[in-house]
Amino acid sequence: MSFIGKGLNSFFKGKKHTVSNDADRSLPSHIDIIMDGNGRWAKNHNRPRTYGHSQGSAKFREITRYCDSIGLKYLTVYAFSTENWRRPQSEVAAIMKIFKEYMEEALSDFTNENIVIRFIGDRSPLAPELVDLMNRCEQATKDKTGLVCNIAVNYGGRQEIVFAAQRIAQKCLDGLISPSDITEDMISSHTYTAGQNDPDLIIRPSGEKRISNFLIWQSAYAEYYFDDILWPDYTVEALEEAISEFNKRNRRFGGI
């Protein structure tokens, strides 16, 4: 599940969709999407995998706009995982190159958009110029009041828990806390999504039915929705179908 783009001058531009007006619909506060199937989509269309990633990026822009238009509070997308480095070096290089080009145009396109962009994951292996662009993009949008869009880049759920444990352990060594002070809330406060609602609904298109190391801690009580659509073919109608299915679920959180 990797993400690349053509530049944020087109990030939120394109076809506008009619916002659902179903009065009986309960909107999740936090939806996560594992954007999967770009490579298979490209193969099905006899195109290189990088073309599939660019089409997946266009779909990301479309779905993000729609999520903002319906009033969603948080959207997290799985863009590039810690395991994606195992892909052919040429593919990884192409993804990083286009992602850099994408970010270089980001700062010019947020003036009229009320969307907060955040990047979650380990930035240390990324090129310094890319990290700088990510930081600047976050700074430019931090005061927006609309949708918060988390883009997971070099993200792994186990890695996130390890990092949280390391930071808490250091506080113990520094004498700031004792082991008995460690609670679930404390661990949550040391994750990348600290301060945000845990995901209500996690969507994975493409036919795969696994979580692939995504938000392991936060997804303890999330509802999952799987479908067979490859990500570049995903639609707002498919998203609404997932939300409709979510509303049919009985979320008891361990109760009766």
Asked about 250 being catalytic, the answer comes back as no
SS3 74: strand
Chain-centre distance of CA 144, in angstroms?
18
SS3 148: strand
Nearest to 200 by CA among 66, 23, 31: 31
Reported residue count of the chain is 256
Q: What is the DSSP string of 165-226?
A: HHHHHHHHHTTS--GGG--HHHHHTTSTTTTSPPPSEEEE-SS--S-TT-STTTTTT-EEEE
Catalytic option among 32, 38, 84, 154: 84
Asked about 36 being catalytic, the answer comes back as yes
Q: What is the dihedral of CA 190, 116, 109, 123, to 10 degrees?
A: 10
Question: CA Rg, the chain, in Å?
Answer: 18
Angle at 156 between CA 155 and CA 162, to 5 degrees: 115
Q: Which residues are catalytic?
A: 36, 84
